[in-house]
Amino acid sequence: RGLAARVWRRRCRCAEAARIWRRPASRRARPLRRLCQCPSSKMSVEDVRRAVWLARIPLKVHLAREEITTTPGPVPYYMLAPRHSYLPLLVTELKEYFDHVLPPGEDQPWFDYRGLPLKWNLSIGALYDLLADEQTPWAITVHFRDFPSDVLLRCDEEETARSGFMNSLKEATYIATGSTRTIMGLTTNELDSLWDSVIKADLAQYDKLQKSKLPSSEGVEQPQSDSGPPQQSAASTGGATRMPFRIYVRREAPGDGELSAEYWHNVDYCSLPVSPHDTEGTDTLHSFVQHVLCERLPELASCAASLRNEKVVVQGTRPQWETPLDWLLTTMVGPDSFLHMCILLK
């Protein structure tokens, strides 16, 4: 009876997700996109941050064809994945759904998109922004056998994803302050609470810990803008001197055909420390991209003149060039304290 109830609830969730995604594009809510087109809207900074944290990516997950042992095979599994989450955190739910058709053997879960193995250490939001080109729902494939160890690092459990997130948070904190004391000083309960807030997309729980323990926003002067007083980045700490950016550069679009692991050679990503001195006089996204990123990243320098705001993606949105940089730093920073920015050259 308990199993039947779980199956029924799962079918209801899938049906509801499918019903929403079949709506015409004009009826789908796109609050984040509208906010970035008009950052001076009446919504408060906290309202925008909450919208970013609550953002979900619709997924249509297929089981790998070679792992299906029944006829007919299972229907795809529809789900809404938090942008800040990671692929390994979806495995438990997917294993429960596909378990009855899997062949015998040891589970080695991994994901691919059109044949391209997906890196679990990148957030689901970053992967979507780099590869999906706004495909809705994003169709990906889950595998439980034949792990491609020559391409991906193993991530057999949630603890590995958690360690990856914590290392990213430490890196951002070190960039901002030159020290990781604030993170290393957290108790086990506080670290558990932090991770729990990330996987549940619970901004209130995250902010409660941030205000008392995590990096605060004091000490970094942001550029002035016409939208109001300078805002502070959630990525910095008291006495901070730099702002942590995670920049992704995609040189070639995925196209329509099958992909292979070699496609990752078209994608570069790096952590970029940016000081207030670097951003002096760059109070908008346009000036930041042209005068900071294009000067610091050689692959962008040659195409600086052709860059348009449509090629810059931040948290699934394409902000207008005149969007204030301090507004992005205040509202779009992820839970790992990085501002993730994708540059799609093609």
pLDDT at 211 (0 to 100)? 76
Residues 66-110: tens digit of each pLDDT: 999 998 999 999 999 999 999 999 999 999 999 999 999 888 899
Q: What does the alpha-carbon distance between residue 140 and residue 214 come to, in Å, rounded to a whole number?
A: 35
Question: Helix crossing, 45-54 with 203-212: angle to 10°?
Answer: 120
Q: Which two tokens stand for residue 346?
A: 């093609």
Q: Are 108 and 147 in contact (CB under 8 A)?
A: yes
Where the chain has pLDDT below 70, the residues are 1-42, 212-241, 277-282, 304-305
Give the CA angle between residues 273, 276, 281 to the nearest 5°.
120
What global pTM score does this model have?
0.81
Residues 264-282: tens digit of each pLDDT: 999 999 998 888 766 666 6
pLDDT at 298 (0 to 100)? 79
Q: Are 117 and 82 in contact (CB under 8 A)?
A: no
pLDDT at 264 (0 to 100)? 94
Q: How many residues does the chain have?
A: 346
Longest dimension (CA), the chain: 65
Q: Which residue has the tokens 């901004």?
A: 203
pLDDT at 326 (0 to 100)? 87
